[in-house]
Amino acid sequence: DTAVSQTPKYLVTQMGNDKSIKCEQNLGHDTMYWYKQDSKKFLKIMFSYNNKELIINETVPNRFSPKSPDKAHLNLHINSLELGDSAVYFCASSQGGVLINEQFFGPGTRLTVL
């Protein structure tokens, strides 16, 4: 009965490959997020979707494309992977709105690009 789940947990791949990370939440939330935690440990938001609509799109290379087939899922597809993409990627969800609400995070996906 995991609230926010991500697959895979670990991903090791070669430069230039295309990969996807999947995220699902069973909390009934209407807002989902992708964060990147880099080598300096900062958690930085990449994207946010509210009711399947993109609402936050930070300065992220076009190689990163989020896809939300429904409110419960937000997948992250990365094309032409680069060494600098190596990081831990966290998915999160919240009951959205103008006022901030607690975000629930998934366990993270550690991506290693060789």
Partner 1 sequence: DQQVKQNSPSLSVQEGRISILNCDYTNSMFDYFLWYKKYPAEGPTFLISISSIKDKNEDGRFTVFLNKSAKHLSLHIVPSQPGDSAVYFCAAYSAGGTSYGKLTFGQGTILTVHP
Positions touching partner 1 (CB under 8 A) are 4, 31, 33, 40-45, 48, 50, 55-56, 90, 92, 94, 96-108
In the 8-state DSSP scheme, what is residue 102?
P
Strand stretches in 29-81, DSSP E: 31-37, 43-50, 53-57, 64-70, 73-78
Residues 20, 89: Cα–Cα separation, whole Å: 11
Strand stretches in the chain, DSSP E: 4-7, 10-13, 19-25, 31-37, 43-50, 53-57, 64-70, 73-78, 87-94, 104-105, 109-113
Q: Minimum Å distance from CB 25 to partner 1?
A: 12
Q: Which is nearer to partner 1, 19 or 89 (CB)?
A: 89
Q: Which is nearer to partner 1, 17 or 99 (CB)?
A: 99
Q: Minimum Å distance from CB 52 to partner 1?
A: 13
Q: Minimum Å distance from CB 28 to partner 1?
A: 16
Q: Which is nearer to partner 1, 40 or 70 (CB)?
A: 40
Q: Which is nearer to partner 1, 84 or 97 (CB)?
A: 97
